[in-house]
Amino acid sequence: MSVNRVLVQVIAQVAVFLQFTDDATLDPDAAVKQLEDLAFQLQQLPPADRIEFIRVLSEVAGDWPSDRERRFLLKLPEAIGIA
């Protein structure tokens, strides 16, 4: 497994955790702030790297066990402004 795939998988796991963890476990404001910070960092990628991130993310999402989380991951690039 390539380092790119591993890093994208880690980003996907964090994004899913922040999006779907219940409010009793994770403060919703903290989750939103972290998702916004994640989005900002990914927006710093040059266009070619954004394309590669989106490609690998779609591969990672395809292997995701939950349909709801898979749909979230496939929509993530557009939602955070990198698609």
Count of CB atoms within 10 A of residue 29's CB?
Answer: 9
Is 12 within 8 Å of 61 (Cβ atoms)?
yes
Tens digit of each residue's pLDDT (9 = 90 or more) over 16-73: 999 999 999 999 999 999 999 999 999 999 999 999 999 999 999 999 999 999 999 9
Domain span at 33: 3-79
Q: What is the C-alpha to C-alpha distance for residues 42 and 45, in angstroms, rounded to an integer?
A: 6
Place of tokens 């219940």: 22
Structural domain count, the chain: 1
Instruction: Report the pLDDT value the prediction gives residue 1, as an integer from 0 to 100.
Output: 84
Q: Is 66 helix (H, G, I), strand (E, B) or coil?
A: coil
pTM: 0.92
Q: Tell me which residue of 12, 7, 6 sits closest to 80, measured CA to CA.
A: 12
Angstrom CA distances, 72 to 1, 10, 13, 16, 60, stand at 23, 15, 11, 8, 12
